[in-house]
Amino acid sequence: MAKKKKSAVVTYEEAEATPQLITDTIEKNYMPYVMSVIISRALPEIDGFKPSHRKLLYTMYTMGLLSGPRTKSANVVGQTMRLNPHGDAAIYETLVRMTRGNEALLHPFIDSKGSFGKQYSRDMAYAAARYTEVKLDSFCAELFSGIDKDAVDMVPNYDNTTTEPTLLPTTFPNILVSSNLGIAVGMACNICSFNLAEVCDGTIALLKNPKLSVDKMMDYIKGPDFPGGATMLYNREQLREIYSTGVGSITLRARYQYDPVQNCIDILQIPYSSCIENILKKIGELVKNGKIKDIVDYRDAIDLNGFRLSLDLKKGASADKIMDMLYVMTDLQKNFDCNFNILVNGTPRQMGVIDILNAWIDFRIGCLRRELAYDLEKKRAKLHLLLGLSAILLDIDKAIAIIRSTPNEADVVPNLMKGFDLSEIQAEHIAEIKLRHLNREYITNRIKELENIQKEIEHLESVLADELKIKELIIEQLKEIKKKYGKPRKTQIMNAEEVRVLEKEDFIENYKVRLVTTKHGYFKKITAQSLRGNDEQKLKEGDYVIFEEDADNVKDLFVLTNKAQAYRYKLSDIEVSKASSLGEYLPSVLGMDEGEVPLFCKAITDINPNHQVAVFFENGKAARFSMGVYATKGNRRKTVGAYSKRAVAIGAFYVEDEKQKVVLRSDAKKALCVAFKDISFTQARDAQGNTVFSLKPAKSKVIAAEPTQFYEMPEHYHKRTPSMGSAITPKDVQALEKRGIVL
Residues labelled as active-site residues: 131
DSSP string computed for 337-377: EEE-EEEETTEEEE--HHHHHHHHHHHHHHHHHHHHHHHHH
| Per-position b or e across 131-161, b if 16+ CB within 10 A of its CB | ebbbbbbebbebbbbbbebbbbeeeeeeeee
β-strands 612-617, 621-626: how paired?
Answer: antiparallel
Give the span between the Cα atoms of 569 and 523, in whole angstroms: 13
Q: What is the DSSP code (8-state) at residue 520?
A: T
Residue type, 114: G
The CA dihedral of 54, 129, 162, 359, to the nearest 10 degrees, is 0
Q: Number of helices and strands (H, E) in the chain?
A: 22, 33
Q: What phi and psi values does residue 241 have, to the nearest 5 degrees? A: -65, -40
Helix locations, 494-548, DSSP H: 528-531
Torsional sign, CA 467, 472, 475, 476: negative
Distance CA 227, CA 102 (A): 10
Residues forming a β-bridge with 558: 568, 602
User: DSSP secondary-structure letter at 41?
Assistant: I
Looking at residue 664, its amino acid is L
Query: 518-521 contacts: CB < 8 A, separation 24 or more?
Result: 518/543, 518/544, 518/545, 518/546, 518/583, 519/543, 519/544, 519/545, 519/546, 519/597, 520/597, 521/585, 521/586, 521/587, 521/597, 521/598
Closest-CA residue to 109 (of 174, 41, 202): 174
Contact 474, 151 (CB under 8 A): no
Residues in Cβ contact with 217 at an 8 Å cutoff, skipping those fewer than 6 apart: 202, 205, 206, 243, 353, 354
- Amino acid at position 324, single letter: D
Q: How far apart are CA 600 and CA 704, in angstroms?
A: 12
**Within 10 Å of residue 381's Cβ, how many Cβ atoms?**
11
Nearest to 126 by CA among 140, 111, 112, 106: 112
Q: Dmax of the chain from CA atoms?
A: 147
